[in-house]
Structure 1
Amino acid sequence: MSSTSHPLVTAGQLGAMLQAARKARGWTQSALAGHIGLSQSRVSHLELNAQEMSVEQLLAWCAALGLELALGSRGGAAMSATPTSTPDW
C-alpha cells in the first residue's frame, strides 16, 4: 500500500478507507477480526457504521493494517504528538 495520506471529513469516509485498506492487504473481515479481537460481524458493522467505532478500536484497526493515524490542521502538516504549549480546551 502507498504512503499517501487521505483527509477524512465524515465517518462514512473512514469506514470506506478502512475497508479499502483491509482489502488492499488481502484480508477478509474474519482475518482482521482475529487480529483485533472482534467478531467478523462487528468488523462488518463498523465498516458500514464507523461513527460507532471507539478510539481504541480505531487504533487497533490501524495497527493491524499498518496504517498511521495523524491529526493536523486542514491544509497543514500533522501536529506534533508532544505539543509545545497547552491547548485552550
Structure 2
Amino acid sequence: MPTHNHVLTTTAQLGQILQASRKSKKWSQAQLANKLGLSQSRVSHLELHAEELSFAQLIKWCAVLGLELSVGLRETRAEQTLTDW
C-alpha cells in the first residue's frame, strides 16, 4: 500500500486530509461519527473547521482512520534545494 505524506500548514488542509481519508475508506460521516462517539453533524463541522479539534480528538480521529502524525523541523529553502539535487 503506497504511503502518502502531506505537509500541512493550515487547518483547512487538515480538514481536507481528514475528509479525504474518510472517503477513501468509503465511510459516511455518520459511520465515522459512530466510531468517534460524535454526531454526524459534529464530524461535518470539524471537517470544515479543523481548527476546533482538540489534540486528543485529532489523535483519536487519526487512530480511527489509520493515520499517523509526525512533527519535525521545517526545511529552509536552501536545505530543500540541496536535498533535491
Structure 1 residue identity aligned to 2:31:
A
- The equivalent of 2:34 in structure 1 is 34
Alpha-carbon deviation of 1:4?
1.5
Runs of at least 4 residues off by over 6 Å? none
Aligned residue for 1:59, secondary structure, equals: helix
Cα RMSD for the two superposed structures: 1.5
Say whether 1:64 aligns with 2:79. no
Mark the structure with the bigger radius of gyration. 2
TM-score, with length taken from structure 1:
0.80
Q: Distance in 2 between matches of 1:44 and 1:37?
A: 13
Percent of matched pairs sharing the same residue: 57
> TM-score normalised to the size of structure 2?
0.84
Gap regions ≥5 residues in structure 2: 76-85
Per-residue deviation at 1:74? 1.4
- The offset of 1:2, in angstroms, is 3.2
Q: Write the distance in 1 (CA, Å) between the matches of 2:22 and 2:40.
A: 13
- Equivalent residues, number: 76
SS at match of 1:3: coil
1:53 aligns with 2:53: yes
Question: What is the alpha-carbon distance in structure 1 between the residues aligned to residue 69 and residue 37 of structure 2?
Answer: 20
Question: Which one has a larger percent helix, Structure 1 or Structure 2?
Answer: 2
